Structure 1
Amino acid sequence: MERAGSRRIGRLWRSFVTKLVVTLIVFAAVPVLIYDLLDEADRERNALLFRIMQEEGRLISEGLLPYLEEFSPKAAAELEGLLPKLAAGGTTIKVLFRPAGSTKPNRFFFVASHPKVSGAMLDAEQRNLVDTGLLSKISESCDFRRSLATDFTNASGEEEVMTYLGSRYTSNGCWVILTSLARRHILYFSPDRQYWQTPELKVALAIYGFMAVLVLSIFTDAWRNLRRFSRVAHALRTGSKTGTSFRDQNRIPELDGVASDFDELVVALRRSEQLIRQAAEENAHALKAPLAVISQSLEPIRRAVPVDNAPGRKSLDLIERSVERLDAQISAARRIEEATAELMDQRMTVIELPRLLPVLVEEYRTRAEDRDIAVHLDVAPGLRVLGNDNLIESVMENVLENALDFSPSHSAIRVAAAPDGGMAVIRIDDEGPGVKEGDRDNIFGHHFSTRLADGLNGNYGIGLWIVRRNVEAMGGTVIGTNLPARGFRIEIRLPRR
């Protein structure tokens, strides 16, 4: 039981469909499994990057505020030269001033900035800053220091991210240092952005999707090609379509050689069938011609041997029986060779057993009635198999012939056909003596017979061998078993359609 389970698991794992399904699951699962890790890493990177930008803004603010303690024209000139040095890496610095005694946010005035803002845009820049609401948070004490992560659009329409705001009160009023960074200098960064919206992830997903499609296309192309090969094989087997070939149906260049080999194999099999038939005919003619000469030569010898010459007469009888036996053997051999050739070019079609079996059984019912043997038939309606009329006819003829030979008078032969899962089961029961247990496994062998007069009357043990060979050629099985009381059963199983 464990071994059978292991075989099923191994077969399932080797299955092309199983591997295709596993590949689909892997391609679907990998992004889901690693997305959270990548998202967390992206958040940590953004947080670290922004902390660096905020810290840079704080250092700039702390460095500038001492220059504003005693603001003078000289300090203003130094401030204008200092801002470009501090604004490295694209940082924007804005210096604003609110006179003492005023607390309104719109009372802040631009003192300096880097990059410089033209006079025409100063009012718009100031309004944009007021609209952010940050200036309104600066109290009368002008004591405000805070790291920021606020989006801002400057007067020229460029997007920025404000990183730090620091203020200091002096005798003249409130000074404010505001730092920001143009978004073009911090590619792909946004504090509110979801990781799946990042360009790098979109590019990675595009590459991953392309790889998935490529791998799956390899699987599906191979699968479709195998299905096309299967249809060609089915067409060749059933004869439903002529002129088709594996090479014509192949769509994968790497399989051209395999497809050509298959086509050559089909041609070789058909050629072999012709050669086998030809050889059978030639061998039979070559062997029977000398036998005919021997038989004709016995007539003058028999006339020449006196009737009272018992040894001579006995020798002649032995020669005649041997010639008859040899002739029968040659006929049997020819029959085997022809049957083998027939198997190589039999077209498989859907067979309606309720239509075919009554016709085959009826041919034997008259012969059976002459010996007071009843023949009963029971076929399930609509029972169909994939097979060949000639092969099934040969099977039933040999099995029924065998059953008639071993059935005593006043007995019965029962033929029944019924579905059993994916198989159709045909059972032929007789009431004969059955088969010895030691011979049961040999009855379907070549030249095996349980008849006492083996070899006489055409019995050379090839009937059940032909049965097994034909059934297996149709994808089925056949077994023989003794019935509990008396008799023997031949059970044939064929694939249903």
Structure 2
Amino acid sequence: MLRRLTASLTLKLVVLIGLFVALPIVLYGQFESADSQMRALVTRAIQDRSALIAEALAPVLRDTDPAAPMNMNRELEKYASSGTVLKLMYQPPAARSASRFFLVGSAPPLAPEAVSAELEELSQRGLLQRLSEACTWNAADEMRYRRADGTVELLTSIIPIRARGNCWILTTTHVASDFLNTSIGRPYWETREVRIAAAIYLVGAMLAVLVALGMRLSLRRFRNVADEIALGRAVDATFVERNTVPELAGVARDFDRLVHELRRVSREIRQSAEDNAHAFKTPLAAVQSALRPVRRAVPEDDSRARRALEIVDSSLARLLGLVNAAQRHDMGTADIIDAPRMPTELAPLVEEAARQVQEILAAREIGLVLKLERGIAVRTAAGMLEAALQAVLENAISFSPGGTAVTVSLHASTDTVELRVEDEGPGIDPEKIERLFERYFSSRPDDGIGSDRSVKHSGLGLWIVRRNVEALGGQVKVANRPSHGFSVTMVLPRFVIH
């Protein structure tokens, strides 16, 4: 069972799908965690850089008189860099309660007419209130907000600077997504790297799915060809014609070669059976013809000669029967190899077999009980299942005492069909059950029930039953019944009639 599971292509495909689903989730979690750490480091680096700029500006601000005109653009430009906006704000002591600030420097510099608009935007964003709190508590702060058009997120560090009892605020603003090319300011899945990786993954997944579907379709084509051959619809092997995968071309050729060889062997077996039967029947017929004048010439009162003629006639009849049995056996073998497997409903087949044994049942005063479910079908070649059922019925009848009954039941599950024949005879020695399917083995007693002296048994009945049933993909089970009697159960794959 374990080997079957590990060799299953379906199981491997399920595992592969599971890996395709789980792998990106695990990797995304790991990469997102690493990116979060990178964002924390970048943010801390921004804050540290702003603090260093503030430390550098502190001596200059100590020497600056707030009452005199100020233009700190030149000082800020010393520390400006591409993508970074520096602003220096000043809050007069008298304006602290009103959270008013003056913009005294900017890098890059702002035009005088743009200062009022800049302060108004800072006020609307709530930045001025945050500046006032930074002055009150002398604590650095950080704020993120989007531009008026909502497209770009800005990261602003707020650093208070104390000089000569006055509060100055240095703001350092960065476009978040551009700083060190991290995902600051946007979800991690929106980063360029993740989207490229996702696109590559999706392409790989689609290719894997296409390969799996291609293999499945190719195997299905092979199965359809095999079904057509089994049903007798394909005159010639067509695996190569139906195959579209170059890598399976060799397998298709091997299948075609195998089908060709099986058909050739089947034809040779049939031809050999016919030739052998003809070769034996011709001299037997000649002997029977030669005996006719001898039989007429022997006097009626010569009992010894008459007895000799009866023995010769009996032997000839037995030889002819053996020749016919051998011919049927060989033809059955050929049918197993090559005969079309057609969907066949079992209930009518069982009823026909029952009609054929009605005379024997009546002569031996044995009843027949049929418990059949309708609409149950299997795929079988003509005569294969009939021969098996006939052998089992004849066996059950020969071991049944008069006044008893043989029961034939037919039941089906989702995938299988059970055809059971039960008698009320003596059963069989448990030690001999394993040998019942051996060729030429017979468990019939010399006298009593089951001896059946009127028929010469060859010991091939149950062997033929198992051969035919296994050729149809089934199995045969035999067992003694708990009370008395014997049962033979044929389990076959079910064919669902649509």
Same fold (TM over 0.5): yes
Spell out the pairing of 1:174-213 with structure 2 (5 A cutoff): 175-183=168-176, 185-186=178-179, 189=182, 193-213=186-206
Which residue number corresponds to residue 160 of structure 2?
Answer: 166
> C-alpha distance in 1, partners of 2:74/2:133?
30
Q: 1:330 to 1:167 in 2, by over 3 A?
A: same
Q: Deviations over 1:462-482 (max 9, x none)?
A: 333222222222222224445
Deviation at 1:420, TM superposition (A): 5.8
Q: Unaligned 5+ residue runs, structure 1?
A: 1-6
Which residue number corresponds to residue 260 of structure 1?
Answer: 253
Spell out the pairing of 1:61-72 with structure 2 (5 A cutoff): 61-71=54-64
> C-alpha distance in 1, partners of 2:134/2:409?
104
Q: Deviations over 1:118-162 (max 9, x none)?
A: 45544433433343443453489898552423336499x976422
> C-alpha distance in 2, partners of 1:159/1:491?
78
Spell out the pairing of 1:364-375 with structure 2 (5 A cutoff): 364-369=357-362, 371-375=363-367
> C-alpha distance in 2, partners of 1:107/1:485?
107
Is 1:116 the equivalent of 2:114? no
Q: 1:154 to 1:77 in 2, by over 3 A?
A: farther
> C-alpha distance in 2, partners of 1:297/1:17?
69
Among 419, 423, 444, the residue aligned to 2:411: 419
Deviation at 1:66, TM superposition (A): 1.7
Equivalent position SS for 1:256: helix
Deviation at 1:266, TM superposition (A): 2.4
More displaced stretch, 356-365 vs 312-321:
312-321
Aligned residues: 483
Deviation at 1:46, TM superposition (A): 0.9
Is 1:401 the equivalent of 2:377? no
Q: 1:348 to 1:308 in 2, by over 3 A?
A: closer
Q: Deviations over 1:445-473 (max 9, x none)?
A: 33334566999966433333222222222
Which residue number corresponds to residue 469 of structure 2?
Answer: 471
Which residue number corresponds to residue 28 of structure 1?
Answer: 21
Which residue number corresponds to residue 371 of structure 2?
Answer: 379
Q: 1:317 to 1:84 in 2, by over 3 A?
A: same
Is 1:279 the equivalent of 2:272? yes
Is 1:15 the equivalent of 2:8? yes
> C-alpha distance in 2, partners of 1:456/1:375?
21
Which letter does structure 2 place at the counterpart of 1:390? G
> C-alpha distance in 2, partners of 1:141/1:415?
103
Deviation at 1:60, TM superposition (A): 1.0
> C-alpha distance in 2, partners of 1:304/1:381?
61
Which residue number corresponds to residue 146 of structure 1?
Answer: 140
When normalised by structure 2's length, the TM-score is 0.78
Is 1:493 the equivalent of 2:487? no
Q: 1:494 to 1:413 in 2, by over 3 A?
A: farther
Q: 1:338 to 1:76 in 2, by over 3 A?
A: farther
Whether the 8 Å contact between 1:149 and 1:191 is mirrored in structure 2 is: no
Deviation at 1:340, TM superposition (A): 0.3
Equivalent position SS for 2:435: coil
Whether the 8 Å contact between 2:237 and 2:256 is mirrored in structure 1 is: no
Deviation at 1:56, TM superposition (A): 0.5
Equivalent position SS for 1:447: coil
Whether the 8 Å contact between 1:430 and 1:489 is mirrored in structure 2 is: yes
Equivalent position SS for 1:382: coil
Equivalent position SS for 1:441: helix
Which residue number corresponds to residue 4 of structure 1?
Answer: none
> C-alpha distance in 2, partners of 1:338/1:81?
110
> C-alpha distance in 2, partners of 1:485/1:191?
83
Q: 1:67 to 1:383 in 2, by over 3 A?
A: same
Q: Deviations over 1:331-362 (max 9, x none)?
A: 33222111101112333344333322222211
Q: CA RMSD of the aligned region, Å?
A: 4.5
> C-alpha distance in 2, partners of 1:262/1:139?
85
Which residue number corresponds to residue 222 of structure 2?
Answer: 229
Q: 1:152 to 1:442 in 2, by over 3 A?
A: closer
Spell out the pairing of 1:66-145 with structure 2 (5 A cutoff): 66-71=59-64, 83-88=76-81, 90-97=83-90, 108-111=102-105, 113-119=106-112, 121-136=114-129, 137-138=131-132, 144=138
Whether the 8 Å contact between 1:416 and 1:426 is mirrored in structure 2 is: yes
Equivalent position SS for 1:87: coil
Whether the 8 Å contact between 1:383 and 1:424 is mirrored in structure 2 is: no
Q: Unaligned 5+ residue runs, structure 2?
A: none
Which letter does structure 2 place at the counterpart of 1:386? V
Whether the 8 Å contact between 1:141 and 1:169 is mirrored in structure 2 is: no
Whether the 8 Å contact between 1:98 and 1:109 is mirrored in structure 2 is: no
Whether the 8 Å contact between 2:368 and 2:405 is mirrored in structure 1 is: yes
Which letter does structure 2 place at the counterpart of 1:94? K
Equivalent position SS for 1:86: coil
> C-alpha distance in 2, partners of 1:142/1:458?
119
Q: 1:415 to 1:361 in 2, by over 3 A?
A: same
Q: Deviations over 1:38-69 (max 9, x none)?
A: 43332222111111111101111211232233
Identity %: 33
> C-alpha distance in 2, partners of 1:481/1:159?
82
When normalised by structure 1's length, the TM-score is 0.78
> C-alpha distance in 1, partners of 2:144/2:72?
26
> C-alpha distance in 1, partners of 2:214/2:334?
36
Which letter does structure 2 place at the counterpart of 1:460? S
More displaced stretch, 41-50 vs 319-328:
319-328
Among 323, 339, 342, the residue aligned to 1:346: 339
Spell out the pairing of 1:254-333 with structure 2 (5 A cutoff): 254-292=247-285, 325-333=318-326
Equivalent position SS for 1:51: helix
Whether the 8 Å contact between 2:87 and 2:103 is mirrored in structure 1 is: no
Q: 1:44 to 1:443 in 2, by over 3 A?
A: closer
Is 1:60 the equivalent of 2:53? yes
Whether the 8 Å contact between 1:392 and 1:470 is mirrored in structure 2 is: yes
Which letter does structure 1 place at the counterpart of 2:140? R
Whether the 8 Å contact between 1:403 and 1:430 is mirrored in structure 2 is: yes
Q: 1:272 to 1:118 in 2, by over 3 A?
A: farther
Q: 1:178 to 1:243 in 2, by over 3 A?
A: same
Equivalent position SS for 1:180: strand
Whether the 8 Å contact between 1:433 and 1:487 is mirrored in structure 2 is: yes
Which letter does structure 1 place at the counterpart of 2:493? P
